[in-house]
Structure 1
């Protein structure tokens, strides 16, 4: 099996080039044709052997000629749809589409492969391509994050269904980023409500971050915003609990310093109420 290297944020991720030691396979045309209008000789000349097309596709891929590589891999699927080379070409075509930024095509091709060969040795790689294709389309946090959700679903599938594959580690890293995007979106909406003094709506958004995305970069601000929100609502015990959880996990955080200062304006200090949902959620934080 040939392999190639695909860079992902400064580190190499091996591309399974799928070149198996297959015996030379040639497409055989039907021995007989009753329709005199069909030019059998011309048709035979237009059909290249599957192994020849596949090797040409790989050569184009290695040379950076991605469009031509895709053309070769697609030709195998059309001319030799039930061959072993067609199965392998499908994965390589998904990769070629991904490298060209044709993410929809990459997702469709990889998904088709997975529907046909869910237990194949290259299924993990096909699923990884789906995740990468969604990941590359994740927008800035101010925009709709449905693509982040799809990336999360795809990478979770890699991790859970193919736990021993070489793509798990990178999938985990990209999964964390996508989850951080979702948490960031919740924070953006929460701040919007907080600025307009819609405290209940704001608290619900910040709570969503603490309970659903506890191990993201947004957690410190989310706890601090809960202190601010509950303080404004007059829910002093909840504000003190949020500050206590924040201080326990991130004692050197500027967010904690600001929260502590806010409580002091009313003579309060961080104090954890073990019966609060914040206390229970705080037990799941990385620093807990």
Structure 2
């Protein structure tokens, strides 16, 4: 009798297990071309949320096929198009690690830079993603200078550097308005030294002149104004810097202007 009861229990558990699995989709291996083509068709129609897992399925079912490597990159692309930037970067890092000599690895670095680039926020917020974008695009230019993606990478390097310089300027202006001149000088010098090709440099030199005048460092103020005049002659930036260095009052102040930012150019 105990043996009969045990058998009945086993049969019951087997039956319950069978019932519990009826809702699960059984694993069915499919030809690699079929999965890849379905994923590719989904991507062509803009259904990237469907395409990404299908490209992953190519590698899962056929990891040693010639399609698997391309599917890795296509999955990362689909995730990028679906705005799943973090997952796309993870997929790209994996692709780069596993396929360092792949002919498409330049695109992987470039796409990684785009993932960060499209998340860049205004200069009032943290610029961690801007720096990562810059690093990725610099990798493209450094490793693959003749790549068809290098030209756009160089353009975006200029844009990200200008954005980072804008962040430094924003912080420097904040210090300047509060009379924290040494802290402001550090920020403006960073722009001049580290972001010397950006459009922020002329203003940085003017603000440096202003900070030096406020601290009574007339020689430094005149030297900085001279650098500004040499590199950007005839500009409003230079004319204001020259006026500050020689008279202690900006040209725009003398004309009754409160300055470009509405807070004046210093307590002179």
| TM tier, smaller | 0.7 to 0.9
Match for residue 168 of structure 1 among 140, 147, 150: 150
Q: Kindly indicate whether residue 234 of structure 2 is the aligned counterpart of residue 249 of structure 1.
A: no
CA drift at 1:252: 2.9
Give the number of the structure whose residues are more often helix, by fraction: 2
- Give the TM-score normalised by the residue count of structure 1: 0.75
Distance 1:217 1:103 in 2: 29
Residue in 1 aligned with 2:253? none
The DSSP-based 3-state class of the residue aligned with 1:46 is: coil
Deviation at 1:264, TM superposition (A): 3.3
Deviation, structure 1 residue 193: 1.2
- The 1:266/1:78 distance shift into structure 2, 3 A limit, reads closer
Name structure 1 gaps, 5 residues minimum. 1-36, 268-288
Which TM-score applies when normalising by structure 2?
0.80
For each residue in 1:69-102, what CA deviation from the matched residue of structure 2 results, as whole angstroms up to 9, or x when unmatched? 1122011121112222110001011111111111
Distance in 2, Cα, partners of 1:83 & 1:55: 14
Q: What count of residue pairs does the alignment treat as equivalent?
A: 226
How do 1:137-216 and structure 2 match up within 5 A?
137-216=119-198
- Which segments of structure 1 move beyond 3 Å, counting only runs of 4 or more? none
Equivalent position of 1:66 in the other structure: 48
Distance 2:47 2:136 in 1: 28
Within 2, Cα distance between the matches of 1:184 and 1:59? 42
Structure with more of its chain in strand, by fraction: 1
Q: Is it true that 1:264 corresponds to 2:246 in the alignment?
A: yes
- Indicate the residue corresponding to 2:203 in structure 1: 221
1:82 corresponds to 2:64: yes
Does 1:52 find its partner at 2:18? no
Q: CA RMSD of the aligned region, Å?
A: 1.8
Q: Is the 8 A contact 2:191 2:204 kept in 1?
A: yes
Contact 2:213 2:248 (8 Å CA) reproduced: no
Structure number with larger C-alpha Rg: 2
* SS of alignment partner, residue 141 of structure 1: coil
Aligned to 1:110: 92
* C-alpha separation in 1, matches of 2:36 and 2:183: 57
Residue 212 (structure 2) aligns with: 230
Distance 1:79 1:175, change over 3 A: same
Give the 3-state SS of the residue equivalent to 1:72 in structure 2.
Answer: helix
Equivalent-residue separation in structure 1 for 2:95 and 2:248 (angstroms) = 62
Distance 1:132 1:160 in 2: 17
